[in-house]
Amino acid sequence: MKHSKRRRSVRRVGVRTHTFFYSLFFLTFMIAFLLFSFVFLFTLKVFPDKPHVSTLFSNMGQFHVPFLKVIAGPPESSMGNEIHAPGAPLNGQVISASAQGSFFVTDTDHLPNFCASPTIKSKPAGGLWSNPATWDLGRVPNGNDLVEIPAGSNVTYDQVSDVTIPCVNVNGSLMFSTNASTRLKVSNMLVLPSGYLEIGKEGFPVDPAVSAEIIIADTPLNTAIDPEQYGTSILGLGKVRIFGAVKNQTFMRLATEPRAGDTTLLLSQAVSGWKIGDRLILPDTRDLKDAERDDPNNINAVYHPQWEEMFITGISPDGKTLATASGDNTAKLWDVATGQLLASLRGHKHFVRSVAFAPDGKSLATGSTDGTVKVWDAATRLELASLEGNKGEIWRVRFAPDGKTLAAACQHPAVILWELE
Q: What pLDDT does residue 69 have? A: 26
Q: What pLDDT does residue 282 have? A: 79
pLDDT band at 253 (very low <50, low <70, confident <90, very high): confident
Residues 156 and 297 in one domain: no
Q: 305 lies in a domain?
A: yes
The pLDDT of 255-262, averaged and rounded, is 71
Question: What b/e string do you get for 57-71 counting C-beta neighbours within 10 Å, with b at 16 or more?
Answer: beeeeebbbbebbbb
Residues 228 and 328 in one domain: no
In degrees and rounded to multiples of 5, residue 43 shows phi and psi of -65, -45
Residues 300 and 165 in one domain: no
When divided into structural domains, the chain yields a total of: 2
pLDDT band at 24 (very low <50, low <70, confident <90, very high): low
Q: 46 lies in a domain?
A: no
Q: What pLDDT does residue 251 have? A: 80
Residues 215 and 138 in one domain: yes
pLDDT at 176 over 80: yes
Residues 77 and 153 in one domain: yes
The partner residues of 204 in beta bridges, in order of sequence, read 201
Q: What pLDDT does residue 309 have? A: 74
Q: What pLDDT does residue 189 have? A: 94
Residues 126 and 209 in one domain: yes
Q: What pLDDT does residue 82 have? A: 29
* CA separation for the pair 408, 373 (Å, rounded): 8
The pLDDT of 150-163, averaged and rounded, is 95
Q: 202 lies in a domain?
A: yes
Distance of CA 243 to the CA centre of its chain: 16
pLDDT at 113 over 50: yes
Residues 403 and 308 in one domain: yes
pLDDT > 70 fraction of the chain, expressed in percent and rounded: 73
Among 78-92, 118-132, 157-171, 386-400, the minimum mean pLDDT is found in 78-92
Q: What pLDDT does residue 19 have? A: 56
Residues 148 and 216 in one domain: yes
pLDDT at 100 over 70: no
* CA separation for the pair 184, 214 (Å, rounded): 5
Q: What is the 3-state secondary structure (H, E, C) of the chain?
A: CHHHHHHHHHHHHHHHHHHHHHHHHHHHHHHHHHHHHHHHHHHHHHCCCCCCCCCCEECCCCCEHHHCEEEECCCCCCCCCCECCCCCCCCCCCCCCEEECCEEECCCCEEECCCCCCCEEECCCCEECCCHHHECCCCCCCCCCEEEECCCCEEEECCEEEEEEEEEEECCEEEECCCCCEEEEEEEEEECCCCEEEECECCECECCCCCEEEEECCCCCCCCCCCCCCCCEEEECCEEEEEECCCCCCCCCECCCCCCCCCCCCECCCCCCCCCCCEEEECCCCCCCHHHCCCCCCCCCCCCCCCEEEEEEEECCCCCEEEEEECCCEEEEEECCCCCEEEEEECCCCCEEEEEECCCCCEEEEEECCCEEEEEECCCCCEEEEEECCCCCEEEEEECCCCCEEEEEECCCEEEEEECC
- Residue 403 maps to which CATH number? 2.130.10.10
pLDDT at 228 over 50: yes
Pairing verdict, β 154-157 and 160-170: unpaired
Q: Which residue has the higher pLDDT, 21 or 207?
A: 207
Q: What pLDDT does residue 376 have? A: 93
Among 28-37, 78-87, 174-183, 257-266, the minimum mean pLDDT is found in 78-87
- Residues contacting 14, CB < 8 A, separation 6+: none
Among 122-136, 260-274, 317-331, 358-372, the minimum mean pLDDT is found in 260-274
Q: 150 lies in a domain?
A: yes
pLDDT at 409 over 60: yes
* CA separation for the pair 343, 73 (Å, rounded): 48
The pLDDT of 319-333, averaged and rounded, is 84
Domain that holds residue 345: 279-419
The pLDDT of 120-137, averaged and rounded, is 97
Q: 90 lies in a domain?
A: yes
pLDDT at 59 over 80: no
Residues 103 and 228 in one domain: yes
pLDDT tens digits for range 329-381? 889 888 877 778 888 899 998 888 889 898 888 899 998 888 899 999 988 99
Q: 5 lies in a domain?
A: no
Residues 119 and 225 in one domain: yes
Of 196, 228, 243, the last residue of a domain is 243
pLDDT at 76 over 70: no
Among 171-185, 307-321, 367-381, the minimum mean pLDDT is found in 307-321
Residues 200 and 289 in one domain: no
Longest CA pairwise span in the chain (Å): 131
Q: Which residue has the higher pLDDT, 56 or 326?
A: 326
Half-sphere CA count of 174, side-chain side, radius 13 A? 27
The pLDDT of 92-107, averaged and rounded, is 60
Residues 353 and 233 in one domain: no
Q: 258 lies in a domain?
A: no
The pLDDT of 204-228, averaged and rounded, is 88
Q: What pLDDT does residue 353 have? A: 86
pTM over 0.75: no
Averaged pLDDT score across all residues of the chain: 75
Q: 70 lies in a domain?
A: yes
The pLDDT of 320-335, averaged and rounded, is 85
